[in-house]
Structure 1
Amino acid sequence: MRLIFKPKKRLLTRMLITSLAIIALVGFGLAWSVTILHAQNSYNKETSQLIAEMPQIAAELRENDLIPQNNDWLQENNKQKRYLMASCDENYQGVWTSSLAIDNNLVDICERFKSIADTTPPYYINMADNKSYFAFKLPVELNQNQYNMVVLKDADSVENDFKRFKRLTYLRLAVVLGLAFILLISAAYWGMRPMVRLKQELQAITDGKKQALSDGYPQELEGVTQALNQLLIQSSEQQTRYQNAMNDLAHSLKTRLAAVYAITDDDKLSKADASEKIMQQVGQMDQLVKYQLKRAMLGRQGLIHEQTQVLPMVEQLSQMLFKIYHEKSVKFSCDIESSISFPMNKGDLMEICGNLMENAFRLCISQVSISAQIDHSGNAILIVEDDGPGVEEALKERIIQRGVRADTQSPGQGIGLAVCNEIVNSYHGILSINESHLEGAKFTIKIPNN
């Protein structure tokens, strides 16, 4: 079996390689330009020196009768110096060659220079003596004729200087690249520290040690961290919504299961009647499951508001509760006209009525009363009362929170009233708790008719 090593892709490595490649390219380009400029500068420097020596060149030309003897320009500049040079016409045909060039067998200076005349300086020429020379072109006019004076200088010293300068230039470049590499690594790790911090905080959130990303990230990452925090909030809200929906479903199904048990234990019912009533409870359970799943996905605001009749639902729930609490012989009074409808989803209204009526039947001594009406402002009002122990003043605000129960003697999760309050708030309504004329608790629901 052949093992294939596949290195991990690292953003930091890509940044370093790209940055170093750019710096190296720019650095070598600058070094190349500097060396060319240095060579041209050396050539210009030598040219300037030759121009300064023009009187000496002219003295050698006069010695060979190329310049008239009465030239005033040479009266004070008659010092002679021997040069490797030649005089060429406009087509670079040899006119004259200096004695020093002839002594060194360099008789074809003009012809060799012609091959490089169209290039840019500095001019290098390899001559017959297998040496390299710098060639300097000096246009001059002698006896009203235009000539090109080509002066040769040994290139060894200039080339050695050029090589030394080139070495120093690339050595400096290597030092700069080394420092740039160190600075790039430092900058890269410094720049990547917020990403490392982001990774650590995300891991802490995954481990449950944090709830959200902290502030103080660079401006470039603020949009990302804010989007992640928003995503975490939405995820947390969705998880809470699902958890609450499952708890609410379990709470709602508990009452229906209790009704099923009561129906199966009722010897007065025939098998057909018991089956029919059990199927009714199963149908309600099915509706509850669908309702809670829909609410978990969409949230309460996603549920469609509709008009739901109150009386049929109250009658259906009371029959179920009579079966569950048949041993209490509850006196139940209902003051609801058949025409009254609430601006609520059917599932929401069932949750409210079911929770309030189940609490009233469970906690009452012997009486439960429920009424519904539409006031003059069009608000829907539902009132559920009992003659039980009531609710202490200190608990009235707390029992509408999840997990808080007023009656700690009986089993339960303490989520029924919290569900009612959440539903009422989603319709911009109000749930209030007061003392009933039956000397027990009075729960009033007020839903605006939007």
Structure 2
Amino acid sequence: MAARAAIATGFVLAGFLGLVGLTLSQANKQRALSALHDRLQNFAIAYITNTEVNRYGNKLLPPSADTLPDPNFLHPGSGLYAVAVGDYGYHWESSSAVGRDFSFLKPLEPGQSLFVGPVDTRMGRLYYYSYGVALDTDEKGKSVRLTMTVAQTEYQFEDQNAVFRHSLVIWLSILGVMLIVLQLLLLRWSLTPLRKVASDMSRVESGDSEQLDSQYPLELTGLTERINAFITSEREQRTRYRHTLADLAHSLKTPLAVIRSQLESTTGDEPARRSSVLDQVRRMNELVAYQLSRAATSGRQTFASAVPIAGHAEDLVQSLEKVYATKNVLCEFDIEDGAVFYGEQGDLLELMGNLLENAFKWAGHRVLLVVKMRPQPGRQRPGLSLSVEDDGPGIAAEKIEKVLQRGVRGDERVQGHGIGLSIVQDIVHAYQGELVVDRSPEFGGARFSVSLAAS
């Protein structure tokens, strides 16, 4: 990227400096032409000032040598010439113009001036300035016309421009190199944050860092935040895929236990047992579909429908009472009228099912399910408070964090997979809620409280 930017900038800079050089060269040429015009004009006026008319008014007297405006007019072939033509066949040439052919010059009317060049002549290419004037004589109303021409060869003019162009090329080249070096330094400095992002990404790929955690400029903050969000989402997705089979096995455990209980039972009529088994098979099928979909997506949804809680709670408790029939557990409800869960029905069943099953497993004889809605001003959907309490041995404060870990059971002697509470934590986390484990003030056993914020 830096190399491409440097090459592109180099071409643009070369074109720009070339255009600047051409513009400055043309401007200098115009300035030099203007200066040449003024210079030749001044020479012509100086000659005219020193040219006189004799007292009879019939002859022009040339300027004396000591009044010449430039000594080059004295040196033959110097490239600077002066020629005057006038009435009465007057013709005068400076010493430098002796033997030169100026037959191409034309006399001008008084007051006329002409600056021409470069023109091709036998002496080479010339720039010349001609000025027509009428010199007064002693006789009143009589004047003598004179045309004074001062010429300079082109090579002198071009030599001056060549020196300027040479200096201009050198300085523009130096400036171009300096600008390219400065641009490379600025480019390297400006790309430092991107190189930092690339370096941090390499650290994330190698496992040395969890996320892009450096300080970045404001322009890159949005990019790095989205990269971090993508990294987090990808890791959570991978974790969900890894846990799906374990969660699925755990979810199927209760229906399988009910089926086994019904098949092993020798009491009750056959149609009832068949209906119960079919209900559990149907629930197993729903669990498989739910877990597979949960592996891909999970969490709070903006347009989630309201799922009634009371009916599903009753169905879950009926299934658990069959599994733990020998314990004769009494499950009490304190569910607010109209209590609903805004999310996937499968998430609600997993959440309540795992909490209730855990309570049935550890309870002595009593379990309490409490569900309350928590409206909040300014929010369209109320929050939800759900708690499950039991009269079992409870969980010591120092063991709570360990029990919530995946694959850890509160008592290794008790049958289970140790991932039920972990599933609860995943669901609560996905819905941006909070799970608190403490001791039940009424029963003395464990109390699991879930709080989901209003939205």
Q: TM-score, normalised by structure 1?
A: 0.72
Match of 2:367 among 366, 369, 385: 369
Whether the 8 Å CA contact 2:386–2:450 is kept in 1: the answer is: yes
Match of 2:133 among 136, 140, 146: 140
Structure 2 residue matching 1:336: 3-state secondary structure? strand
1:389 to 2:393 alignment: yes
1:341-390 deviation digits (Å, cap 9, x = unpaired): 4231334432321121132234x164351333659999965442234432
Paired position in structure 1 for 2:77:
none
Deviation at 1:176, TM superposition (A): 1.5
Matched residues in 1 for 2:117 and 2:336: separation?
Answer: 112
Paired position in structure 2 for 1:51:
45
State the number of aligned residues.
408
Structure 1 residue matching 2:264: 3-state secondary structure? coil
1:69-120 deviation digits (Å, cap 9, x = unpaired): 9xxxx9x9898989853447xxxxx985515489755344107x99xx998x
Deviation at 1:65, TM superposition (A): 4.8
The one-letter code matched in structure 1 to 2:10 is L
Structure 1 residue matching 2:130: 3-state secondary structure? strand
Q: Which residues of structure 1 form unaligned runs of 5+?
A: 1-7, 89-93
Paired position in structure 2 for 1:109:
105
Structure 1 residue matching 2:192: 3-state secondary structure? helix
CA RMSD of aligned residues (A): 4.4
Matched residues in 2 for 1:175 and 1:438: separation?
Answer: 95
Matched residues in 2 for 1:184 and 1:163: separation?
Answer: 30
Matched residues in 2 for 1:177 and 1:23: separation?
Answer: 7
The one-letter code matched in structure 2 to 1:255 is H
Q: How does 1:214-233 map to 2 (within 5 A)?
A: 214-215=214-215, 217=217, 222-223=218-219, 225-233=220-228
Whether the 8 Å CA contact 2:321–2:329 is kept in 1: the answer is: no
Q: How does 1:300-449 map to 2 (within 5 A)?
A: 300-302=300-302, 304=304, 306-310=306-310, 312-321=311-320, 329-336=326-333, 340-345=337-342, 346-362=345-361, 364=362, 366-372=364-370, 382-396=386-400, 398=401, 407=410, 409=412, 411-413=417-419, 415-419=422-426, 421-422=428-429, 425-426=432-433, 431=436, 433-435=438-440, 437-445=442-450
Matched residues in 2 for 1:96 and 1:442: separation?
Answer: 133
Q: How does 1:168-247 map to 2 (within 5 A)?
A: 168-194=163-189, 196-207=191-202, 208=204, 209=208, 211-212=211-212, 214-215=214-215, 217=217, 222-223=218-219, 225-239=220-234, 241-243=236-238, 245-246=240-241
Structure 2 residue matching 1:109: 3-state secondary structure? coil
Whether the 8 Å CA contact 1:85–1:109 is kept in 2: the answer is: no
Whether the 8 Å CA contact 2:6–2:183 is kept in 1: the answer is: yes
Whether the 8 Å CA contact 1:126–1:133 is kept in 2: the answer is: yes
| % identical equivalent positions | 14
Q: Quick one: structure 1 residues 53 and 125, their matched pair in 2 at CA, closer, same or farther if it must change by over 3 Å?
A: same
Q: Quick one: structure 1 residues 333 and 34, their matched pair in 2 at CA, closer, same or farther if it must change by over 3 Å?
A: same
Structure 2 residue matching 1:442: 3-state secondary structure? strand
Whether the 8 Å CA contact 2:438–2:448 is kept in 1: the answer is: yes
Paired position in structure 2 for 1:4:
none
Deviation at 1:226, TM superposition (A): 1.7
Whether the 8 Å CA contact 1:385–1:442 is kept in 2: the answer is: yes
Q: How does 1:240-279 map to 2 (within 5 A)?
A: 241-243=236-238, 245-246=240-241, 249-250=244-245, 252-263=247-258, 265-266=260-261, 267-268=263-264, 272-273=274-275, 274-279=277-282
Structure 2 residue matching 1:242: 3-state secondary structure? helix
1:85 to 2:83 alignment: yes
Paired position in structure 2 for 1:31:
25
The one-letter code matched in structure 1 to 2:250 is T
1:206-247 deviation digits (Å, cap 9, x = unpaired): 331552274364xxxx32x02202312332343355356546
Q: Quick one: structure 1 residues 146 and 360, their matched pair in 2 at CA, closer, same or farther if it must change by over 3 Å?
A: farther
Q: How does 1:147-162 map to 2 (within 5 A)?
A: 149-153=147-151, 155-156=152-153, 159-162=154-157
The one-letter code matched in structure 1 to 2:128 is A
Whether the 8 Å CA contact 1:309–1:339 is kept in 2: the answer is: no
Deviation at 1:161, TM superposition (A): 3.3
Whether the 8 Å CA contact 1:321–1:361 is kept in 2: the answer is: yes
Q: Quick one: structure 1 residues 200 and 448, their matched pair in 2 at CA, closer, same or farther if it must change by over 3 Å?
A: closer
Paired position in structure 1 for 2:78:
none
Whether the 8 Å CA contact 2:335–2:369 is kept in 1: the answer is: no
